Amino acid sequence: MQKTKAILYALLAAAFYAVNVPFSKLLLNHVGTTTMAALLYLGAGIGIGILSLFNRQEKSAKLDRQDLPFVLGMIVLDIAAPIFLMLGISYGSSSNASLLGNFEIVATTIIALVVFQEAVSRRLWAAIALITLSSILLSFEGTDSFRFSYGSLFVLLATVCWGFENNCTRNIASKSTYEIVILKGIFSGFGSLIIAFLKREAVPQLRYIALALLLGFVAYGLSIFLYVRAQNTLGAAKTSAYYAVAPFIGVFLSFVFLRERPSGMYLIALAVMIAGTALVVADTLAVQHTHLHQHTFTHTHDGSTHTHTITHSHAHNHYRSDGKHGHHHPKDELVKELAGQK
């Protein structure tokens, strides 16, 4: 029963995040792109701040001065990413933007490989290739034309920013999650709001401000909350696998609420993206297993963990655990705790 509830939480988290793109598309008719980005993050920060008032159990350490570079990087990237995303949505289709969000998997993985020297499985390399191919197809308009879509370019820039942001957040993920999410929401939101004022974007009507704040709380704040609740039972890897349905829910909502009609190129890209996402899910859910080996080898104790240096050989049995590499949810994948538990 508990596992079933956790799976439901993960799917609800994906659904809540998926509403971001199509409903942002609707609100952008009444709210400027930068103002919209600001309100989404402010909604998440304010909403999670209110939730934190009812939580008395969090025991995670607070952020300190050593975390400042990562916090600043996280905030700056969280200012840029949603602005790019809102620009992409305003110039292009909602369904395209939803699918292109999966490119964040590619960006996060490549950055983790280059910067943090993480291992990448063959299956994940294949997924990266397919998702990249699908993103290229989605970036060109029509089946008979190679006219580049600037909307797609802005969405891809957003995913790259979030890829860097994911790798900044990983360095402070052990600290207070409420503190991290509130900082993300409030400071990134106010940063975008300052840019909106400098651009002299029109102040939207109060009802649209309220709707944008509510969307931010649901699509970012509440989505993370349910994601972590699921993660507490399922673990990060399996939760992220269920979360992979989010772009496809977004596509469905775009067809239903925005009446968008898919082109032939889009359907081809959709099939390729489904295949790439399936490989990501398979890689994430891959079960770690243990092999029993018996062999003879020679090794040296180098002094770093021993007080002597000798070379010897012997035969013995040992267990080798084959690990796997998988990424969690691209947007706040490394946030471990929002429910007051470690």
pLDDT at 163 over 90: no
Across residues 234-243, what is the average pLDDT? 68
- Cβ atoms of 220 and 20 within 8 Å: the answer is yes
159 burial (CB, 10 Å; 0-12 / 13-18 / 19+) is: buried
The predicted model gives 296-325 an average pLDDT of: 40
Question: Cβ(70)–Cβ(155) under 8 Å?
Answer: no
More confident residue, 259 or 29: 29
Between 338 and 247, residue with greater pLDDT:
247
**Can you read off the two tokens belonging to residue 323?**
């690990």
Give the range among 33-47, 142-156, 193-207 with minimum mean pLDDT.
142-156
> What band does 320 get if pLDDT is binned at 50, 70 and 90?
very low
Is the pLDDT at 13 greater than 90? The verdict is no
Angle at 36 between CA 35 and CA 42, to 5 degrees: 85
3 state SS of 342: coil
The whole-number pLDDT of residue 58 equals 63
Q: Work out the angle between the directed axes of helices 20-27 and 246-257 (0-180°, nearest 10).
A: 40
Q: What is the pLDDT of residue 56?
A: 67
- Per-residue pLDDT at 179: 85
* CA separation for the pair 186, 183 (Å, rounded): 5
What average pLDDT is seen over the chain? 79
Name the pairing type of β-strands 140-141 and 147-148. antiparallel
Q: Is 143's pLDDT higher than 70?
A: no
Residue 149 has pLDDT above 60, yes or no: yes
- State the pLDDT confidence band at 235, using cuts at 50, 70 and 90: low
Specify the higher pLDDT residue, 284 or 324.
284
Report angle CA 23, 27, 30 to the nearest 5 degrees.
170
pLDDT in tens, 210-229: 999 999 999 998 888 887 77
Pairing outcome for strands 147-148 and 311-322: unpaired
Give the Cα separation of 276 and 79 in Å (integer).
29
Out of 41-50, 97-106, 136-145, which region has the weakest mean confidence (pLDDT)?
136-145
What percent of the chain has a predicted confidence (pLDDT) above 90? 32
The answer, yes or no, to whether residue 204 has pLDDT greater than 60, is yes
- What is the distance between the alpha carbons of residues 336 and 301, in angstroms, rounded to a whole number? 37
CB atoms within 10 A of CB 145: 9
pLDDT for 292 beyond 90: no
* pLDDT (average), residues 167-171: 77
pLDDT at 38: 96
* Tens-digit pLDDT profile for residues 47-96: 999 988 887 666 667 888 888 999 999 999 999 999 999 999 998 888 88
Instruction: Please determine, for residue 300, whether its predicted confidence score (pLDDT) is greater than 50.
Output: no
pLDDT at 25 over 90: yes
Residue scoring higher pLDDT (165 or 287): 165
Exposed e or buried b for every residue in 291-329, given b needs 16+ CB within 10 A?
Answer: eeeeeeeeeeeeeeeeeeeeeeeeeeeeeeeeebbbbbb
pLDDT at residue number 303: 42
172 pLDDT more than 60: yes
**pLDDT at residue 297, as a whole number:** 42
**Torsions phi, psi for 310 (to 5 deg):** -135, 155
